[in-house]
Amino acid sequence: MTRTLDPLAPGHRGWWESGDLLVCHADGVAVPNALTARLTPTRVTEHFRVYALGTRTLVAHRYRGDELDDDLAGHLAAELPGLAPHFERIFTGVVRTTVHDPLLAWTLFYANTLAALRHPSRAGAIASMAPVHSRALNLVRGRSVLDLGSCFGFLPLRLAAQGLRPIASDLSPGTMELLSRVASWLGSPLPVLTCDAAAVPLASRSVDTVLAIHLLEHVPPAHAAAVVREMLRVARRRVVVAVRSDPVDAGQLLAWGRASREPFTVFEHHGGWLVVDRD
């Protein structure tokens, strides 16, 4: 999420607004429904109806509580590509209008997603991420783990469930506050850091394993190189990097690692994964 979006900000039952965007649950609020009854939607998909309300955009949906999980990301990307600039706000709006209480809504979203990651039963964003998480979990060495670019923090929560000591980190203070509060609600308190992955406020060699899973493809190459250098600085035993595809590949990551001047031994280097052990 962006630095300014607050996923726990006060809202209204059944509808959520942010600037020129309004999200509503089609079964949960009367006023937007009265408006949309007089309008022709500009887009109708399996999960959404989109309307133009003057200069504002209204997105209506009918998600149930048991459907509230991270597959929502795939639905939005596939069904509403024209609204990509509003992705995070629509995502937040859907979660917040499915269940009225903010913390309860997000806790349900987390619980459903974590259950699906453990036992994926359908194709979608969660099913594609589950094997990536499983591999990352198996590659951890030691007990203390720093996860860079955690976003919602599903991976750190799974690490904690295995008895490890993870730290989640991300640029977005709102997302880190959300993760911290939900983790406590779920009974797994989790340390969080709001920081740039290239400037981590931890001492050198202070964490056993440092992870960057599907992070570096989202930042410019020069910044990605700085992140790899920082990972090698902070890690005591192992660094694990996974990228989806170009423009960052494992060969590039290996070159950045060598440029860091930090001593390491390559453990694995193929298929978008780079695993190195500290000498």
pTM: predicted TM-score of the whole model, two decimal places: 0.91
Report pLDDT digits (tens) over 106-125: 999 999 999 999 998 877 88
Could you tell me which residue, 1 or 247, shows the higher pLDDT?
Answer: 247
Report pLDDT digits (tens) over 60-94: 999 999 999 999 999 999 999 999 999 999 999 99
Whether 105 has a pLDDT exceeding 70, the answer reads: yes
Please state, for a pLDDT cut of 70, what percent of the chain lies above it. Answer: 95
**How many other C-beta atoms are found inside a 10 Å radius of the C-beta of residue 160?**
21
Distance (Å, whole) CA 152 – CA 80: 21
Distance (Å, whole) CA 220 – CA 276: 22
List the structure tokens of 139. 């590659």
Distance (Å, whole) CA 90 – CA 140: 34
Distance (Å, whole) CA 130 – CA 172: 23
41, containing H or E segment: none
Distance (Å, whole) CA 203 – CA 185: 29
- Binning pLDDT at 50, 70 and 90, where does residue 272 land? confident
Q: What is the pLDDT of residue 49?
A: 94
Report pLDDT digits (tens) over 125-177: 899 999 999 999 999 999 999 999 999 999 999 999 999 999 999 999 999 99
Inter-CA distances, 277 with 9, 128, 240, 263, 266, Å: 42, 27, 9, 9, 6
b/e string for 203-213 if b means 16 or more Cβ within 10 A? eeeebbbbbbb
- Binning pLDDT at 50, 70 and 90, where does residue 30 land? low
